Amino acid sequence: MIDGEAEAIANAKQAAQASNGFINLVRRAIEQAWILPASATNQLRAVVRIQLLPTGELVSARIIESSGDGVFDRSVLQAVERAAPFRELRELPLAAQSQFREFNLDFNPKDVRR
């Protein structure tokens, strides 16, 4: 019984670590691909919902919360498209993979100094 629980903990922990690794990877890839518009300010924020295939390829990316600024919204969609695919999804434990078939990206520039 105790062994079973220990194993469950270990699996869950591993899945969580793998998930965190994937999250960091997605974040880094998108931050690199996101060309901040010259007009961007830290007042702007947009949320994009993305869907991935099990292979990590992008099925769709759409704005679910607009910044109200067309240039900013377009820049975040282009960033997702440029950064995709996220092939490392395939390397996640099966259990973890399913959570990343669909998730949100919250573009919320904090380091913009203009």
CB distance 25 to 86 below 8 Å: yes
59 binds another protein, rule: CB under 8 A? no
Give me 39's structure tokens: 């007009």
Residue of 63, 66, 69, 88 that binds another protein (CB under 8 A): 69
Count of residues engaged in binding another protein, rule: CB under 8 A: 53
The radius of gyration of the chain from alpha carbons, rounded to an integer in Å, stands at 17
Residue 15 CA to its chain's centroid (Å): 17
Q: Which residues bind another protein (CB under 8 A)?
A: 2, 5-6, 8-9, 12-13, 15-16, 19, 23, 26-27, 30-40, 47, 69-71, 74-79, 81-82, 95-96, 98-100, 102-112, 114
